[in-house]
């Protein structure tokens, strides 16, 4: 193994170790891109340099063995000990460090393409989307629903479906774009979104809701009032707890375009700026969302969440959701 390969392995171990220990926040998209490029270089080197060199060495060994046998035959020695086939097989064998670089390139490339342009897995880390999504749900995010974006830089190069009210969206947290958040789209560009006295209104019209009784949260071991809410064509469930009035903290707010929002003792009202979206969690009184840290710009969109593919604590959770 060359010093360069050893240095690359060392850098990967340090990066993953620091990420695991919480010394820094890792960027999986960037890591996967770098691994794809590096393994591609090793794959090309293996195909056009290392493998031909091993084949040439094996051919030279065979030629040397054939010449030796011919020389011994001229001397009258017909029986020659030794078989070069085992040595030839060892020469042609790919070294372990190429197995773990060039050999992994096709697998890493497929994962990179699937994750960058088609579907990305995501784990629900908090209870802000209860009752729609529970802590521990493993979901799939459709990366091409809103358009095709270049990996790592997240620049859109092709439009697809427009963002709709009621979509469950994964996006890069505006305060720290290294983190992915998941919330529901409540306000589109130009909308006037108001959440006052725990009632959501869009452009002056209260959003249609109806009571569904109570919801039992197994994590907090408590019941909360459960409602059905309809945003656009999407009907979904939300939790609203009259005993937990939201507190939005001191003013003034410092997030970008905070002047578009007005806070009072009753709640908050915001005008969504162009190219941005207003996001809220379905667990309305237990969600840090656009009411607190502001609007989500279009360039932060990751994709539309649509399917729970696993929950190890409750297999009945598997399936699509609104």
Count the Cβ atoms, other than its own, within 10 Å of residue 192. Answer: 16
- The backbone torsions φ and ψ at residue 104, rounded to the nearest 5 degrees and listed phi first, read -90, -10
Q: Which pLDDT value is given to residue 26? A: 83
143 in active site: no
Contact indicator for 302, 180 with CB cutoff of 8 Å: yes
CA angle 70, 71, 77 (to 5 degrees): 85
pLDDT surpassing 70 at residue 80: no
Q: In percent, how much of the chain has pLDDT > 70? A: 97
Q: Which pLDDT value is given to residue 81? A: 65
Q: Which pLDDT value is given to residue 321? A: 85
Give CATH superfamily name and number for 122-320: Umud Fragment, subunit A (2.10.109.10)
The string of pLDDT tens digits covering residues 4-46 is: 888 988 999 998 999 888 888 888 888 999 999 999 999 999 9
Q: Which pLDDT band holds residue 290 (cuts at 50, 70, 90)?
A: very high
Domains in the chain: boundaries? 3-112, 122-320
Q: Which pLDDT value is given to residue 2? A: 80
Q: Mean pLDDT, the chain, as a whole number?
A: 89
Q: Which pLDDT value is given to residue 203? A: 95
Q: Which pLDDT value is given to residue 35? A: 94
243 in active site: no
Cis amide bond preceding 252, omega within 30: yes
What sign has the CA pseudo-torsion 47, 52, 57, 63?
positive
Of the candidates 29, 88, 116, 128, the residue annotated as catalytic is 128
Q: Which pLDDT value is given to residue 189? A: 97
The string of pLDDT tens digits covering residues 65-77 is: 777 777 767 777 7
Contact indicator for 225, 240 with CB cutoff of 8 Å: yes
Residue 196: enclosing H or E segment and its boundaries?
strand 192-196
The string of pLDDT tens digits covering residues 138-148 is: 999 999 999 99
CA–CA gap between residue 215 and residue 72 (Å, rounded): 90
Burial zone of 101 (CB within 10 Å; 0-12 exposed, 13-18 middle, 19+ buried): buried
The string of pLDDT tens digits covering residues 116-126 is: 899 999 999 88
The string of pLDDT tens digits covering residues 156-189 is: 899 999 999 999 999 999 999 889 999 999 999 9
Of the candidates 88, 143, 183, 253, the residue annotated as catalytic is 183
Cis amide bond preceding 157, omega within 30: no
Q: Which pLDDT band holds residue 60 (cuts at 50, 70, 90)?
A: confident
Contact indicator for 141, 149 with CB cutoff of 8 Å: no
Q: Which pLDDT band holds residue 281 (cuts at 50, 70, 90)?
A: very high
What sign has the CA pseudo-torsion 33, 38, 41, 46?
negative
Name the pTM for this structure: 0.82
């Amino acid at each position: 193994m060359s010093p360069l390969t050893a240095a690359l392995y060392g850098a990967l171990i340090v990066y993953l170790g620091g990420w695991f220990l919480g010394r820094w926040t890792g960027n999986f998209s960037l890591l996967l891109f770098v691994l794809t490029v590096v393994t591609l270089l090793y794959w090309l080197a293996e195909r056009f340099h290392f493998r031909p060199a091993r084949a040439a060495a094996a051919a030279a060994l065979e030629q040397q063995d054939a010449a030796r046998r011919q020389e011994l035959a001229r001397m009258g020695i017909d029986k020659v000990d030794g078989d070069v086939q085992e040595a030839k097989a060892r020469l042609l064998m790919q070294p372990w460090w190429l197995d773990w670089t060039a050999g992994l390139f096709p697998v890493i490339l497929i994962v990179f393409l699937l994750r960058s342009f088609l579907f990305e897995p995501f784990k629900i880390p908090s209870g802000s989307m209860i009752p729609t999504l529970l802590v521990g749900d493993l979901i799939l995010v459709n990366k091409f629903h809103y358009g095709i974006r270049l990996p790592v830089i997240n620049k859109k190069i092709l439009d697809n479906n427009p963002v709709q009210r009621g979509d469950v969206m994964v996006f890069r947290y505006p305060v720290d774009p290294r983190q992915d958040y998941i919330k529901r789209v409540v306000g589109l560009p130009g909308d006037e979104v108001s959440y006052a006295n725990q009632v959501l209104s869009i452009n002056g019209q209260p959003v249609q809701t109806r009571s569904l009784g109570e919801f039992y949260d197994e994590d907090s071991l408590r019941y909360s009032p459960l409602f059905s809410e309809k945003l656009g064509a999407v009907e979904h469930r939300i939790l609203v707890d009259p005993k937990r009035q939201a507190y939005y903290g001191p003013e003034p707010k410092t997030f970008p375009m905070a002047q578009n929002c007005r806070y009072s003792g009753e709640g908050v009202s915001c005008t969504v700026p162009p190219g941005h979206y207003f996001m809220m969690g379905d667990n309305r009184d237990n969600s840090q969302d656009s009411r607190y840290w502001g609007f989500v710009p279009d360039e932060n969109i990751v994709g539309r969440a649509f399917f729970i593919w696993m929950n190890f604590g409750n297999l009945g959770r598997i399936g699509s959701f609104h």
